[in-house]
Chains A and B, each alone.
Chain A
Amino acid sequence: MGNAEDGAPGAAKLVGANGREARAAELEVKGICKSFDAVQVLREVSFTVRHGEFITLLGPSGCGKTTLLRILAGLEQADSGDVELLGKRILSLPANKRPVNTVFQSYALFPHLNVFENVAFGLRARSFANAEVNRRVDGALDMLQLEEYPKRYPHQLSGGQKQRVALARALVNEPELLLLDEPMSALDAKLRAEVQLDLRRLQRRLGKTFILVTHDQDEAMTVSDRILVMNQGTIEQAGVPTEVYEHPVNRFVAQFLGAANLISGERVRTGVKTALGTLRVRHAPAWERGTLAIRPERVRVAKGNPENNGIYAEVRELIFRGDHFEVFVEPGPLRLKVPPGVQLKVGQKVWLELPLEHLEVLAD
């Protein structure tokens, strides 16, 4: 949705981030654990990030993504584990000694400082010469189209402007790693979509490593090179957006990213026996009883009885969604998305196909 690369085959080649050669691991997170009182928030989280990658930590609230980000920023202490940034272990460094900057969810601008001084804060803290501060701050304000408001105070800015100041304030320090904690949650939907694209372009242009925390799957797919889907303190799946979307590994990922038809079934010799009949799958599942998944837009309306995984179904509901129709059919209930060109009527009986290449065998 809104992402041109969603279904494009071969989009997985984006891993190298637009032709830039992937260098050695920039950030290495190893076995991070964290508990608050008796609640375990992070369970041995490990991943690596290459230089210049845009990584998204995606998950529902309470999955530990923000805690993980705060540990990287130095605002929270990990119970165990290790983090290496450019080969240096950083967990023992206090927040103000790390080459890492953060864009906070609430922006956390200094209310008594104007835009210029907000952006200059980090440079002044490191005793940069005045001329250098002016040069860099002006550059950052230019980059984020804030050059007209250097004298304004935070309370005189709109939400979008505040967000850009927060971004400028972090980027002006040229950090090795930029952390973004749901920076768009306070913006309205239209502005958010715009800012997402801006952010992605900005990151590509600067070639810096960004880690973004969000619970918005659209946002994650729009901006990131790679998505780490988190749930209950662990990473459920990591991969490029197309891979995570097209080949979810388990029920959680399938349901959290977009809509999915989950079909529970039982393994038999010829495939998986489900309420829709016995379905053929690409590879034999590891389980006895488990789940198959297929995206609504991948269910095909066939002309006749297809060769594989054909289902003869009755249209029960038709909902017009502008660029497509959402259709619910029985048996199922199976949800599908069909382009407006395909004419269907409620009560009509049709042949559907669950194409082999899009029918995913989930791990659970």
Chain B
Amino acid sequence: MIRTATTTSSGSHRPTRLVLWYGQLTTRRKLLRRGWSLVGVPAAWVVLFLLIPCILLVALAFCRRADTRGEIVWTFTLENFHRLLGYTSDGWSGDYLRIIVRSIWIALVTTVISVLLAYPLAFFIASRKDRARYMLLGLVMVPFCTNLVIRLSAWTILFSSQFYLARFAVWVGLIGEDMPLYPSSFAVYVGMVSSFLPFAVLPIYTNVERMDWTIVEAANDLYAGRWRTFMHAVLPQTIPGLMAAIILTFIPAMGTFIVSNILGGSKYMLVGNLIEHEFLGVGDLPFGAAISFVLIVLTIASVFLLRRHEKAVETA
């Protein structure tokens, strides 16, 4: 509660506005100073390490690479985007576009699998008693305590030709004798889902925990069977959690390069790998920036589309 009062401070004829702020008598200026001291450091941090790099990245995307390695020519050109669309001096090639489409596809499949696994898991955890619930939530989050590279390397051991998984695959006839299960698309999917599953579980879980179960009871009371109860009483209530889960899984899945790098082999290219390759391998910063820019635009666009769809679902 802020109340203002005007008073004349001693020695001066100019009135000072006094402000009553949470039972404390102070001036507007003091309050502002306090506010800035709270906000200032994080604001500076965000500007310095997020906003400026983003602006630089966008600017860089419209520049040209000099002939010498790493040098940048600061002009305005759409060359990088032309190249991404596949126009080269030797004619048209769909390689880059194919990588982008494949990245979107893999991110989508990863998201769908993660959400399908996370949804029942979230209900299972939420239905446990207090202690079991915290234990299970802890287990879901344990992988976060380990570095991603180490976790993925662990998968390479599990997928190696000597381990039971590969032997089983051989026995079933999926792969040939003495073959490991990686590098392969399968290994990439396993790595992706295992890395991003917690991002899907947590938002759905918080949603399920707050669910109004009397609506489920009402559906049951009104002759609805399992399917109808789920469609009308459970699903609509979990839409916000589902949307958060989809966004939180899809975005990192779109940008990842470690998973495909370790489990997909050297020929397995996703947008993330491409960006990494341009920045760290070839040193073509403007082209890397252009791909990053496209990735950001695509991601924001898909989140936007999803949001629009969510609104449509809510009012349908």
Q: Which A residues are within 8 Å of any B CB, using their own CB? A: 73-75, 94-97, 100-102, 104, 106, 108-113, 121-122, 125-126, 153, 169-170, 173
State the Cβ distance, B297 to closest chain A Cβ, in Å.
Answer: 32
Q: Which residues of A contact B232 (CB under 8 A)?
A: 110, 112-113, 121
Q: Which residues of A contact B218 (CB under 8 A)?
A: 102, 104, 108-110
With A73-B221, A110-B236, A112-B236 given, can you name 20 additional A-B contacts, CB distance below 8 Å?
A: A95-B217, A95-B220, A97-B223, A101-B221, A101-B222, A102-B218, A108-B215, A108-B217, A109-B215, A110-B232, A112-B314, A112-B316, A122-B223, A125-B222, A125-B223, A125-B225, A126-B223, A169-B222, A170-B222, A173-B223
Q: Which residues of A contact B314 (CB under 8 A)?
A: 112
Q: Which residues of B contact A110 (CB under 8 A)?
A: 215, 218-219, 232-233, 236
Whether B220 and A96, one on each chain, are in contact in the complex, defined by CB atoms closer than 8 angstroms, is yes
Tell me the bound Cα distance from A101 to B222 in angstroms.
Answer: 7
Q: Report if B95 contacts A (CB, 8 A).
A: no
Within residues 223 to 265 of chain B, which ones have a CB less than 8 A from any CB in chain A?
Answer: 223-225, 228-229, 232-233, 236-237
Total cross-chain contacts (CB, 8 A)? 69
- 3 smallest CB-CB distances across A and B, nearest first, come from A122-B222, A108-B218, A125-B223
Q: Report if B209 contacts A (CB, 8 A).
A: no
Q: Give the contacting residue for A108; candidates B212, B313, B315, B316; CB below 8 A.
A: B212
Whether A104 and B316, one on each chain, are in contact in the complex, defined by CB atoms closer than 8 angstroms, is no
Whether B214 and A108, one on each chain, are in contact in the complex, defined by CB atoms closer than 8 angstroms, is yes
Q: List 17 A-B contacts (CB under 8 A).
A: A74-B221, A75-B217, A96-B221, A102-B217, A102-B221, A106-B212, A110-B215, A110-B236, A112-B313, A112-B314, A112-B316, A113-B232, A121-B224, A121-B232, A125-B222, A126-B223, A169-B222
Tell me the bound Cα distance from A8 to B229 in angstroms.
Answer: 49
Q: Which residues of B contact A121 (CB under 8 A)?
A: 219, 222, 224, 232
State the Cβ distance, B207 to closest chain A Cβ, in Å.
Answer: 14
Q: Which residue of B lies closest to A75 (CB)?
A: B217
Q: Which residues of B contact A96 (CB under 8 A)?
A: 220-225, 229
Whether B222 and A173, one on each chain, are in contact in the complex, defined by CB atoms closer than 8 angstroms, is yes
State the Cβ distance, B236 to closest chain A Cβ, in Å.
Answer: 4
State the Cβ distance, B227 to closest chain A Cβ, in Å.
Answer: 10
Q: Which residues of A contact B237 (CB under 8 A)?
A: 111
Tell me the bound Cα distance from A121 to B223 in angstroms.
Answer: 9
Q: Most B CB atoms within 10 A — which of A121, A169, A170?
A: A121
Q: Which residue of A lies closest to B217 (CB)?
A: A75
Q: Which residue of B lies closest to A126 (CB)?
A: B223
Tell me the bound Cα distance from A94 to B226 in angstroms.
Answer: 11
Tell me the bound Cα distance from A113 to B219 in angstroms.
Answer: 12
Q: Which residues of B contact A101 (CB under 8 A)?
A: 221-222
Q: Which residue of A lies closest to B233 (CB)?
A: A110
Q: Which residues of B contact A97 (CB under 8 A)?
A: 223
Q: Which residue of B lies closest to A111 (CB)?
A: B236
Q: Which residues of A contact B215 (CB under 8 A)?
A: 108-111
State the Cβ distance, B53 to closest chain A Cβ, in Å.
Answer: 41
Tell me the bound Cα distance from A170 to B236 in angstroms.
Answer: 21
Whether B316 and A106, one on each chain, are in contact in the complex, defined by CB atoms closer than 8 angstroms, is no
Q: Which residues of B contact A108 (CB under 8 A)?
A: 212, 214-215, 217-218
Tell me the bound Cα distance from A169 to B232 in angstroms.
Answer: 15
Q: Which residues of A contact B228 (CB under 8 A)?
A: 125
Whether A95 and B236, one on each chain, are in contact in the complex, defined by CB atoms closer than 8 angstroms, is no
Whether B222 and A75, one on each chain, are in contact in the complex, defined by CB atoms closer than 8 angstroms, is no
Q: Which residues of B contact A109 (CB under 8 A)?
A: 215, 218
Tell me the bound Cα distance from A111 to B235 in angstroms.
Answer: 12
Tell me the bound Cα distance from A74 to B223 in angstroms.
Answer: 11
Within residues 270 to 316 of chain B, which ones have a CB less than 8 A from any CB in chain A?
Answer: 313-316
Within residues 9 to 34 of chain B, which ones have a CB less than 8 A from any CB in chain A?
Answer: none
Q: Which residue of B lies closest to A175 (CB)?
A: B221
Tell me the bound Cα distance from A106 to B222 in angstroms.
Answer: 16
Tell me the bound Cα distance from A214 to B208 in angstroms.
Answer: 30
Q: Most A CB atoms within 10 A — which of B220, B237, B314?
A: B220
Within residues 32 to 62 of chain B, which ones have a CB less than 8 A from any CB in chain A?
Answer: none
Q: Which residues of B contact A95 (CB under 8 A)?
A: 217, 220-221
State the Cβ distance, A102 to closest chain B Cβ, in Å.
Answer: 5
Tell me the bound Cα distance from A75 to B221 in angstroms.
Answer: 8
Q: Which residue of B lies closest to A106 (CB)?
A: B214
Q: Give the contacting residue for A125; candidates B212, B224, B236, B315; CB below 8 A.
A: B224
Q: Which residues of A contact B223 (CB under 8 A)?
A: 96-97, 122, 125-126, 173
Q: Which residue of B lies closest to A76 (CB)?
A: B217
Tell me the bound Cα distance from A73 to B225 in angstroms.
Answer: 15
Q: Which residues of B contact A153 (CB under 8 A)?
A: 315
